[in-house]
């Protein structure tokens, strides 16, 4: 049972649920792949807060993930599936034929003892195997997709996500992303077969404020409760929304407004925008 609900013995426990991480088989991380992870508290190099609501949280160490998958031609055996505190999905520890060990994102169906491979040519499309999009059959689900060849995986890396490869035409492959966006990427870009694991991550309910603090999230004050010089929605006699759309402290719209920077090079490869919950499907 991946998600467990306990008896409502306390108000916090009443609405809380926990992920049992049933897929995890290895409890201790690989020491050679650990790195220090310093906390910023949402502050930049000048000590100014640039991201609100950050601070505290449990101490963590970063796991080096192989997002490029350039170790071609060598079979790798899955030693085990591990929990990673730095991301929503689980990770798999691989041991290659030459003895080197690397972490990858663990897809659905990948178990300890399985064999995966990375190649610049066509190989068997098994979960966890990586190859360029030009060799992946259309209709399959992929994750950890590159934006540019050789730059490393950027898309579909969180728990339960996956992009569907729908078409290949010329030098471009068409992907349908989890958001509903249709995007073209080069067929030379690498992708990993399968859907990212830990699909029950989105079903977890924290239940109490303390679990948010463990994740490094501090309490946030409502903009309406602030003074007029601290937030666009603040100030006024009594409760007042200020007669404008909801926005952040910097004035950025927070309820359906467009925030994407214009003139990005990749805009021309977006065939269909993601679906907006408020305004319907956005158009180009």
How confident is the model over 31-87, as pLDDT tens digits?
999 999 999 999 999 999 999 999 999 999 999 999 999 999 999 999 999 999 999
Q: Enumerate the CATH 4.10.950.10 domain ranges in the chain, comma separated.
A: 221-284
CATH of the domain spanning 221-284: 4.10.950.10
Mean pLDDT of 236-251: 84
Task: Quickly tell me which residue has 């309820």 as its tokens.
Answer: 255
The H-or-E segment that residue 98 falls in is none
Domain 3-201: which CATH class? mainly beta
Residue with the bigger pLDDT between 245 and 194: it is: 194
Q: What are phi and psi of 200, to 5 degrees?
A: -85, 5
- Please report the pLDDT score of residue 1 as a whole number: 56
Can you say how many angstroms the Cα of residue 138 is from the centroid of all Cα atoms in its chain? Answer: 24
Yes or no: say if 131 and 171 are a contact pair by the CB < 8 Å rule: no
Handedness of CA 187, 188, 194, 200 (dihedral sign): negative
Q: CB neighbours (10 Å) of residue 81?
A: 21
Count, residues in the chain: 284
Confidence of residue 275 (pLDDT cuts 50, 70, 90): low
Backbone Cα Rg of the chain: 22
């Amino acid at each position: 049972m991946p998600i467990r609900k306990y008896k409502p013995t306390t108000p916090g426990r009443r609405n809380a649920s926990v992920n049992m991480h049933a897929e995890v088989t290895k409890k201790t991380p690989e020491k050679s792949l650990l790195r220090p992870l310093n906390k910023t508290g949402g502050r930049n190099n000048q000590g100014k807060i640039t991201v609100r609501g950050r601070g505290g949280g449990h101490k963590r160490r970063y796991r080096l993930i192989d997002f490029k998958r350039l170790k071609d031609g060598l079979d790798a055996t899955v030693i085990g599936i591990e929990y990673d505190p730095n991301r929503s999905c689980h990770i798999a520890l691989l041991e290659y034929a030459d003895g080197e060990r690397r972490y990858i994102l663990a897809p659905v169906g990948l178990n300890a003892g399985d064999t995966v491979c990375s190649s610049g040519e066509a190989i068997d499309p098994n979960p966890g195997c990586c190859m360029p999009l030009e060799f992946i059959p259309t209709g399959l689900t992929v994750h950890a997709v590159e934006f540019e060849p050789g730059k490393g995986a950027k898309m579909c890396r969180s728990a339960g996500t996956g992009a569907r490869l729908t078409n290949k035409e010329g030098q471009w492959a068409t992907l349908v992303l989890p958001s509903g966006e249709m995007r073209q990427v080069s067929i030379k870009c690498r992708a990993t077969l399968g859907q990212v694991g830990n699909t029950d991550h989105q079903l977890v309910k924290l239940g109490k404020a303390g679990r948010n603090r463990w994740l490094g999230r501090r309490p946030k004050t409502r903009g309406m409760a602030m003074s007029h010089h601290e937030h666009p929605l603040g100030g006024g006699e009594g409760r007042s929304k200020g007669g404008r759309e909801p926005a952040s402290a910097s004035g950025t719209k927070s309820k359906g407004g467009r925030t994407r920077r214009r003139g990005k090079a990749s805009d021309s490869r977006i065939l269909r925008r993601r679906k907006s919950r408020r305004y319907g499907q956005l158009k180009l």
